């Protein structure tokens, strides 16, 4: 295996560390250095995920392209494109991070508002409960009054019935007396 073949394989995604590559790497300091640089880049890419800092294109070139040997042009072009993507990605991620922080602040503010609303809701609930209690008390006292009035009306009804019966008895008595008087011979 040539160094070029080895390094092209190492650049594959994901890097194929097959037996032939491993054997070549064991005996080739150049390719060992190349692999270390690749690992450094991979490490860098991994760190972008934590949003420490965007990787600059210059740093990527430093990590990958310190030219010790001629490399195929398309590999260089591919890595340059990858570096540009990483740069854009880094900037985007930084912007996204800022946006996430803003959103985090908004979430905290919203949580505060929700807490406030909860307090207001509790107050409103307490008020409503109090109103309901008052209404129920009022209804109960009204009911007591109604029962009392009903009782009085029934008593009055009984009295009236009694009076009516008495009046009818008086009328009957008077009629009897009238008849007795008119039946007497003159
Ligand atoms: Zn080699």
Kindly give the distance from the C-alpha atom of residue 44 to the centroid of ligand 1, in angstroms, as a whole number.
24
Kindly give the distance from the C-alpha atom of residue 123 to the centroid of ligand 1, in angstroms, as a whole number.
77
Q: What is the average per-residue pLDDT within 159-183?
A: 88
- Residue 67 above 50 pLDDT? no
Kindly give the distance from the C-alpha atom of residue 12 to the centroid of ligand 1, in angstroms, as a whole number.
16
Top pLDDT among 22 and 73 is at 22
Domain total in the chain: 1
Structure tokens, 185: 């011979």
Kindly give the distance from the C-alpha atom of residue 42 to the centroid of ligand 1, in angstroms, as a whole number.
20
Phi/psi for 32 (5° steps) reads -60, -45
Which residue range forms the structural domain that includes residue 15?
A: 3-98
CB neighbours of residue 106 within 10 Å: 10
Instruction: Tell me whether residue 64 is in a domain.
Output: yes
d(CA 99, CA 86): 19
For 26-63, write each residue's pLDDT tens digit: 899 998 888 887 777 666 655 544 444 455 555 555 55
Kindly give the distance from the C-alpha atom of residue 18 to the centroid of ligand 1, in angstroms, as a whole number.
14
For 76-113, write each residue's pLDDT tens digit: 666 666 766 666 666 666 666 777 777 777 777 778 88
In sequence order, the 6+-apart residues with CB closer than 8 A to the CB of 4 are: 71, 72
Kindly give the distance from the C-alpha atom of residue 2 to the centroid of ligand 1, in angstroms, as a whole number.
6
Q: What is the average per-residue pLDDT within 151-169?
A: 88
Instruction: Tell me whether residue 134 is in a domain.
Output: no
Top pLDDT among 166 and 58 is at 166
Cβ atoms of residues 9 and 15 within 8 Å:
yes
Please give the pLDDT value at position 27. 92
Instruction: Tell me whether residue 60 is in a domain.
Output: yes
Tokens 């909860």 identify what position?
118
Kindly give the distance from the C-alpha atom of residue 13 to the centroid of ligand 1, in angstroms, as a whole number.
19
Instruction: Tell me whether residue 88 is in a domain.
Output: yes
Cβ atoms of residues 48 and 93 within 8 Å:
yes
Please give the pLDDT value at position 42. 67
% of the chain beyond a pLDDT of 90: 2
Q: What is the mean pLDDT of the chain?
A: 75
Please give the pLDDT value at position 6. 81
Top pLDDT among 65 and 106 is at 106
Please give the pLDDT value at position 44. 63
Instruction: Tell me whether residue 94 is in a domain.
Output: yes
Lowest model confidence (mean pLDDT) among 62-66, 101-105, 176-180: 62-66
d(CA 54, CA 38): 18
Kindly give the distance from the C-alpha atom of residue 75 to the centroid of ligand 1, in angstroms, as a whole number.
16
Instruction: Tell me whether residue 148 is in a domain.
Output: no
Kindly give the distance from the C-alpha atom of residue 74 to the centroid of ligand 1, in angstroms, as a whole number.
19
Any idea how long the chain is?
186
Instruction: Tell me whether residue 41 is in a domain.
Output: yes
Kindly give the distance from the C-alpha atom of residue 27 to the centroid of ligand 1, in angstroms, as a whole number.
8
Cβ atoms of residues 31 and 10 within 8 Å:
yes
How is residue 1 annotated by DSSP? -
184: alpha, beta or left? (left if phi > 0; alpha if psi -120 to 50)? beta
d(CA 29, CA 35): 10
Instruction: Tell me whether residue 168 is in a domain.
Output: no
Name the pTM for this structure: 0.30
Kindly give the distance from the C-alpha atom of residue 87 to the centroid of ligand 1, in angstroms, as a whole number.
29
Kindly give the distance from the C-alpha atom of residue 3 to the centroid of ligand 1, in angstroms, as a whole number.
3
Kindly give the distance from the C-alpha atom of residue 41 to the centroid of ligand 1, in angstroms, as a whole number.
19
């Amino acid at each position: 295996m040539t160094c070029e073949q080895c390094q092209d394989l190492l650049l594959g995604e994901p890097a194929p560390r097959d037996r032939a590559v491993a054997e070549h790497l064991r005996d080739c300091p150049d390719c060992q250095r190349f692999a270390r640089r690749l690992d450094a880049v991979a490490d860098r890419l991994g760190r972008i995920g934590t949003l420490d800092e965007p990787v600059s294109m210059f740093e990527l070139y430093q990590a990958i392209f310190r030219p010790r040997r001629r490399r195929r042009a398309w590999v260089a072009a591919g890595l340059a494109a990858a570096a540009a993507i990483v740069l854009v990605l880094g900037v985007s991620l930084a912007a996204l991070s800022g946006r996430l922080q803003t959103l985090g602040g908004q979430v905290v503010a919203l949580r505060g508002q929700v807490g406030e609303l909860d307090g207001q809701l509790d107050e409103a609930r307490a008020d409503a409960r109090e109103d309901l209690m008052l209404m129920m008390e009022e209804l109960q006292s009204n009911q007591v009054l109604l029962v009392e009035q009903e009782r009085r009306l029934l008593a009055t009804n009984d009295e009236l019935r009694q009076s009516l019966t008495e009046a009818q008895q008086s009328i009957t008595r008077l009629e009897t007396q009238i008849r007795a008087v008119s039946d007497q011979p003159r």
